Amino acid sequence: MSTEDSVYAVILAGGSGTRFWPLSRELSPKQMLTVFGHESLIAQAIRRVDDFVGPGDVVVVTNERLFDELRNHLSSQADPRMRQARYLVEPLPRNTAPAIAYAAATLALDDPEAVMIVLPSDHLLERDGVWNSCVASAIAAARDGYLVTIGITSTRPEVGYGYIQAGEAMPEYARGGAVPHVATRFVEKPDLAIAESLLAAGGYLWNAGIFVMSASRVLEELDAHVDTAPIADTARWLAAEQAAGRCDGDEARRRFGEITSISVDHAIMERSDRVAVIPSALNWSDVGSLLALGDVLPADDAGVVRVGRGVDLDTRDTIVYSTDRLVATLGLNDMLVIDTADATLVASKDRAQDVRLVVEALALAGAEEVVQPKVSLRPWGSWTSLLKGPGFQIKLLEIHSGAKPSLQRHHHRSEHWIVVAGTALVTRGDERFEVHVNESAYIPVGAEHRIENCGKVPLKVIEVQLGEYLGEDDIVRLEDDWDRKD
Amino acid sequence: MSTEDSVYAVILAGGSGTRFWPLSRELSPKQMLTVFGHESLIAQAIRRVDDFVGPGDVVVVTNERLFDELRNHLSSQADPRMRQARYLVEPLPRNTAPAIAYAAATLALDDPEAVMIVLPSDHLLERDGVWNSCVASAIAAARDGYLVTIGITSTRPEVGYGYIQAGEAMPEYARGGAVPHVATRFVEKPDLAIAESLLAAGGYLWNAGIFVMSASRVLEELDAHVDTAPIADTARWLAAEQAAGRCDGDEARRRFGEITSISVDHAIMERSDRVAVIPSALNWSDVGSLLALGDVLPADDAGVVRVGRGVDLDTRDTIVYSTDRLVATLGLNDMLVIDTADATLVASKDRAQDVRLVVEALALAGAEEVVQPKVSLRPWGSWTSLLKGPGFQIKLLEIHSGAKPSLQRHHHRSEHWIVVAGTALVTRGDERFEVHVNESAYIPVGAEHRIENCGKVPLKVIEVQLGEYLGEDDIVRLEDDWDRKD
């Protein structure tokens, strides 16, 4: 199947997902988690539409805080769709309508026919033949001006999701069994009684936040209402500024601050008379809390889900997830034990939704473990903090074959490099020399330097930094393959 | 107060304390824990009698497995009593009677008047004036041939301890308010009904395992019974072999294997007609499980005992103890969360006694975290394992001022040393040179080498090892200040 012309993926990736701490961090949010499959959730989202969207036609909408981390994450993937993703950085978070408007205005500048497949970056969806039929059908309807959403057949009276009522069928857009219907009603997250009545009534689908719509139609719908017209105007202004290579961040933040913070459901879907929904029986989850680990991982006879080394004695109905370390449990019931290299959470299962309160309390206490993961992704690979001591710090650098971190120097620290795997090409001042396994190099304070993986296997280097100041911001980048300034 | 002639401390230090995992490990047992005060439990035990016992008169009875670790631990203490401790290594563990007999036979060889203060190495005891009076009184009675135990006034119907009934007073041995009484009955750990009746009856004291007795009397009492006479014989044989500088380990193990495994209570105290008990109102605990943390550490209003970084939200009556890392809890009740650098235990409080089962299960699974702590003490300081990777390993070495690990070489690994604090004097083959902060040295495979802290402050070195085999046993010691062979 070849990709379709003028079809773009718009990945909404501004969420922080604090309910997944300590697996997620501010700078490594839920969408970057790889615990729900072989790839991260955002990589799964991008791959989900690769039958429709070509390399270079993936747009990731995010915010300033996450931009670097997402780019580091996606640019280290093998798939060209991910490496070539375009990034739209929202000046301020204003909910989904402004984010989608920004993408629509940007795409419409170059391609008036642009159709966007809008996907959350942090959901799970089992991809099968049904999915592709839904997308193909949605694109057909969207090309005719419909604002299309793909709805999930409800299987329980769920109070955590919104619902969409499907009306009359539109067989002219049917593809491989997927049939758009006129969407007749949107219902916000209901209480249990209402959820039960919706399930009993039939014809109500879960709103999975998946939209297929033409960029120009999105802007047109926003233009049509007094409260949302400024969203379209601001999106067009920002897209034009970006296209012109201008970027006055303060002005952009000012303008974004003035528009309404509103969801695409409220701003467009509930107001338009050309909305369609495609009922699908897809296996979908919004991955709302750490309990989702229990949905995707197998449990033993005692109901224990266990990942990582350790034992569970007389423990029942408990999730034990460890990324690195040994974790043992004894006599637990209905608990969550989530263990990472630098932080552990132990919670009662029925409090899974309140993990965000733990994160808030830790943030107030200044715990850097809510911000930064222990392994920090970079476009060239990653570094892992092994030890911080008075006046020194140790990192493990892992550098992809052919990659090179920036040519740089430091004002306050010298660095010792010991190659433990692979071969490095080191630049130090005017010198260039190879450093092989079991060899070392010393970079004095102030010296211009660069390390490059000139070999065919991953390069692993132990870096011992010494200095009076060891902050990440003591770096002057002189050349960088990713145009990073700091 | 000066120490008394012919008075020796005999510290029983063969216990493994698996109920304290992950704080304790096979090679870092409960008696080495420093969580119950400023010093380890064994250091507290030795210090407890420093008004009576001079340097060089402390005897630590332990086993082959723990000997190195205990010596490393005690020889790194400032107190000369600990640095100069003598070690008696039991060929096989045979309970307390053979251990005490071995000490008695050894001491009696050189000093027929020897009086032993026998102390468990892993209990807590609040040391005050009462304690010294008890010991002084016990020594007086012991010099007259009494086998004396110091009993603790019972304050609750405890089923975890044995009891001793105090009979007629012996005022001739009273010292500062401490009065020995004839011990009329020993009661093993009772059930609750019996414990309640003993408390109600009065005159029953907890058996704290603290004994004061002359070495020759111990041997005499053992000689008096057919089943225990071989214990005294074997102890005398082993002491004589050791004194003669002979040490046939196989023969020693064979002989020890043939004697009865029996406690000193059963072997001597319950049989002799010259047993005394000194009632004391000392604040004592046998530190029986991790719950003891709750006895020595303050709890907040919700009953939460917390050590280490993190937050507890809606958590009650729970012990959270973290040595290194961030630990957060949410909605827990009556739990134990014990976190160390490399392993975490989460247990229901009412299962604290069963932590040993967790250790057994982990040992079966081959988890090295039950054996080895992450920080390994050495007589010269310590090393900490920071990272093990394929073909490499990183350690932080900390070396006391003036100390030097052995002159050694390795068959399989080379080592890179980077000094991050202090100054090192390095021997490498025929070379000797200083390595200063921010300098490095390389030790090729096979090269004879030694590192020495030639400075006045602690030396800290990052050691990166590379090789096909990185086991601790790849070490050939050519010279060693502590006569270690491997």
* DSSP result, A244-272: TT---HHHHHHHHHHS----HIIIIITT-
The one-letter amino acid code at A381 reads G
Residues 6+ apart with CB under 8 A from A223: A229, A232
Nearest-Cα residue of chain B relative to residue A391: B420
Mean pLDDT of all residues in chain A? 94
What CATH number has the domain bearing residue A429?
A: 2.60.120.10
What per-residue confidence (pLDDT) applies to A485? 63
Q: Which of B320, B337, B364 is the last residue of a domain?
A: B364
The one-letter amino acid code at A276 reads A
Average pLDDT over residues B332-343: 96
Sign of the torsion angle spanned by Cα atoms A398, A380, A33, A373: positive
- ipTM of model: 0.89
In contact, B42 and B122? CB cutoff 8 Å: yes
What per-residue confidence (pLDDT) applies to B1? 45
Residue B38 within a domain = yes
Are A24 and A56 in a shared domain? yes
Task: Specify the DSSP element, H or E, that contains A59.
Answer: strand A58-63
Confidence of residue B180 (pLDDT cuts 50, 70, 90): very high
Comparing CB atoms, the residue among B311, B327, B386 nearest residue A365 is: B311
What per-residue confidence (pLDDT) applies to A324? 87
A449, β-bridge pairs: A408, A428
What digits encode the pLDDT tens for the residues A392-434?
999 999 999 999 999 999 999 999 999 999 999 999 999 999 9
Residues 426-455 of A with CB under 8 A from B: 437-438, 440, 442
Please judge whether B421 and A391 are an interchain contact, meaning their C-beta atoms are less than 8 angstroms apart.
yes
What distance in Å separates the CA atoms of residue A111 and residue A103, rounded to the nearest whole number? 12
What digits encode the pLDDT tens for the residues B447-457?
999 999 999 99
Residues 6+ apart with CB under 8 A from B129: B176
What CATH number has the domain bearing residue A139?
A: 3.90.550.10
Mind giving me the DSSP string for A365-407?
A: TT-GGGT--SEEEETTEEEEEEEEETTEEEEEEEE-TT--PPE
The one-letter amino acid code at B337 reads V
Task: Specify the DSSP element, H or E, that contains A230.
Answer: helix A229-243
What distance in Å separates the CA atoms of residue A98 and residue A259, rounded to the nearest whole number? 8
Count the neighbouring beta carbons within 10 Å of the beta carbon of residue B388. 12
Residues in chain A: 486
What per-residue confidence (pLDDT) applies to A43? 96
What per-residue confidence (pLDDT) applies to A471? 87
Are B103 and B233 in a shared domain? yes
What distance in Å separates the CA atoms of residue B107 and residue B240, rounded to the nearest whole number? 11
The answer on pLDDT for B232 being more than 60 is yes
Are A301 and A194 in a shared domain? no
The answer on pLDDT for B378 being more than 90 is no
B283, β-bridge pairs: none
Comparing CA positions, the residue from A324, A343, A221 lying closest to residue A271 is: A221
CA B264 from centre of chain: 19
List the strands of the sheet with A413-421, edge to edge.
Answer: A375-378, A381-389, A392-399, A459-467, A413-421, A440-443
Please judge whether A332 and B348 are an interchain contact, meaning their C-beta atoms are less than 8 angstroms apart.
yes
Nearest-Cα residue of chain B relative to residue A441: B440
Please judge whether B464 and A418 are an interchain contact, meaning their C-beta atoms are less than 8 angstroms apart.
yes
Are B280 and B350 in a shared domain? no
Q: Could you tell me whether strands A449-453 and A424-428 are parallel, antiparallel, or unpaired per DSSP bridges?
A: antiparallel
Task: Specify the DSSP element, H or E, that contains B348.
Answer: strand B343-348
Q: What is the pTM of this model?
A: 0.89
User: For B12, what's the count of Cα atoms within 13 Å in the CB-facing half-sphere?
Assistant: 26
Comparing CB atoms, the residue among A331, A347, A466 nearest residue B331 is: A347
What per-residue confidence (pLDDT) applies to B133? 96
What distance in Å separates the CA atoms of residue B63 and residue B26, rounded to the nearest whole number? 12
Residue B370 within a domain = no
Residue A373 within a domain = no
Task: Specify the DSSP element, H or E, that contains B252.
Answer: helix B249-258
What distance in Å separates the CA atoms of residue B413 and residue B429, rounded to the nearest whole number? 16
Tokens of A380: 């060239």
Are B211 and B305 in a shared domain? no
Are B43 and B151 in a shared domain? yes
What digits encode the pLDDT tens for the residues B409-432?
999 999 999 999 999 999 999 999
Range of the domain at A303: 292-364
What distance in Å separates the CA atoms of residue A118 and residue A97, rounded to the nearest whole number? 11
Nearest-Cα residue of chain B relative to residue A387: B386
Measured between its terminal Cα atoms, the distance across chain B in Å is 42
Tokens of A455: 């070999």
What per-residue confidence (pLDDT) applies to B261? 94
What per-residue confidence (pLDDT) applies to A480? 87
Tokens of B318: 């729970």
User: For A16, what's the count of Cα atoms within 13 Å in the CB-facing half-sphere?
Assistant: 18
The answer on pLDDT for A2 being more than 70 is no
Residues in chain B: 486
Are A312 and A385 in a shared domain? no
Confidence of residue A168 (pLDDT cuts 50, 70, 90): very high
Burial zone of A152 (CB within 10 Å; 0-12 exposed, 13-18 middle, 19+ buried): buried
What digits encode the pLDDT tens for the residues A7-25?
999 999 998 778 999 999 9
Residue B198 within a domain = yes
Residues 328-347 of A with CB under 8 A from B: 328-332, 335, 337, 339, 342-347
What per-residue confidence (pLDDT) applies to B38? 86
Residue B373 within a domain = no
Comparing CB atoms, the residue among B22, B346, B396 nearest residue A346 is: B346
- Backbone φ and ψ for A348, nearest 5 degrees, come out as -70, 135
What does the DSSP 8-state code read for residue A175? B
In contact, B330 and B322? CB cutoff 8 Å: no
Cis bond leading into B22, ω under 30°?
Answer: yes
In contact, B314 and B333? CB cutoff 8 Å: no
- Residue with the larger pLDDT of the pair B480 and A180: A180
Using alpha carbons, list the distances in angstroms from residue A205 to A124, A152, A399, B141: 17, 5, 46, 88
User: For A474, what's the count of Cα atoms within 13 Å in the CB-facing half-sphere?
Assistant: 16
Are B391 and B466 in a shared domain? yes
CA–CA–CA angle B175, B177, B179 (5° rounding) = 70
Q: Which residues on chain B are in Cβ contact (under 8 Å) with A332?
A: 335, 346-348
What digits encode the pLDDT tens for the residues A303-361?
999 999 999 999 999 999 999 899 999 999 999 999 999 999 999 999 999 999 999 99
What per-residue confidence (pLDDT) applies to B2? 57
Mean pLDDT of all residues in chain B? 94
What distance in Å separates the CA atoms of residue A321 and residue A327, rounded to the nearest whole number? 9
Please judge whether B418 and A460 are an interchain contact, meaning their C-beta atoms are less than 8 angstroms apart.
no
What distance in Å separates the CA atoms of residue B208 and residue B150, rounded to the nearest whole number? 7
CB proximity B326 to A under 8 Å:
yes
Mind giving me the DSSP string for B5-53?
A: TTEEEEEE-----GGGTTTSBTTB-GGG--SSSSS-HHHHHHHTTTTT-
The one-letter amino acid code at B209 reads G
Are A342 and A272 in a shared domain? no
Confidence of residue B13 (pLDDT cuts 50, 70, 90): very high
Are A217 and A249 in a shared domain? yes
**HEC-encoded secondary structure of B48-102:** CCCCCCCCCCEEEEEEHHHHHHHHHHHHCCCCHHHHCCEEEEECCCCCHHHHHHH
The one-letter amino acid code at B56 reads G
**pLDDT-wise least confident of A345-349, B383-387, B433-437:** B383-387
What per-residue confidence (pLDDT) applies to B486? 54
Residues 398-417 of A with CB under 8 A from B: 414, 416
Comparing CB atoms, the residue among B329, B348, B420 nearest residue A331 is: B348
What distance in Å separates the CA atoms of residue A455 and residue A403, rounded to the nearest whole number? 10
The one-letter amino acid code at A139 reads I
Nearest-Cα residue of chain B relative to residue A330: B347
Comparing CB atoms, the residue among A337, A420, A464 nearest residue B346 is: A337
Task: Return the beta strands (E) in A301-378 as ranges.
Answer: 305-307, 312-313, 319-322, 326-330, 335-339, 343-348, 375-378
Q: Which residues on chain B are in Cβ contact (under 8 Å) with A415?
A: none
What per-residue confidence (pLDDT) applies to A1? 45
The answer on pLDDT for B223 being more than 50 is yes
| Least Cα separation, residue B359 to chain A (angstroms) | 9
Average pLDDT over residues B349-370: 95
| Least Cα separation, residue A282 to chain B (angstroms) | 34
Confidence of residue B376 (pLDDT cuts 50, 70, 90): confident
What digits encode the pLDDT tens for the residues B276-329?
999 999 999 999 999 999 988 999 999 999 999 999 999 999 999 999 899 999
Q: Which residues on chain B are in Cβ contact (under 8 Å) with A335?
A: 332, 346
Are A265 and A384 in a shared domain? no
What's the total number of domains in chain A? Answer: 3
Q: Which of A364, A399, A416 is the last residue of a domain?
A: A364
Are A260 and A394 in a shared domain? no
- Backbone φ and ψ for B96, nearest 5 degrees, come out as -80, -30
Task: Specify the DSSP element, H or E, that contains A164.
Answer: strand A163-169
What digits encode the pLDDT tens for the residues A114-160?
999 999 999 999 887 799 999 999 999 999 999 999 999 999 999 98
Q: Which of B285, B304, B328 is the last residue of a domain?
A: B285
Residue A70 within a domain = yes
Using alpha carbons, list the distances in angstroms from residue A286 to A17, A39, A264, A358: 11, 16, 17, 21
CA A390 from centre of chain: 35
Confidence of residue B75 (pLDDT cuts 50, 70, 90): confident
The answer on pLDDT for B485 being more than 70 is no
List the strands of the sheet with A305-307, edge to edge.
Answer: A305-307, A319-322, A335-339, A343-348, B326-330, B312-313
In contact, B311 and A363? CB cutoff 8 Å: no
Residue A1 within a domain = no
| Least Cα separation, residue B207 to chain A (angstroms) | 31
Residue B371 within a domain = no
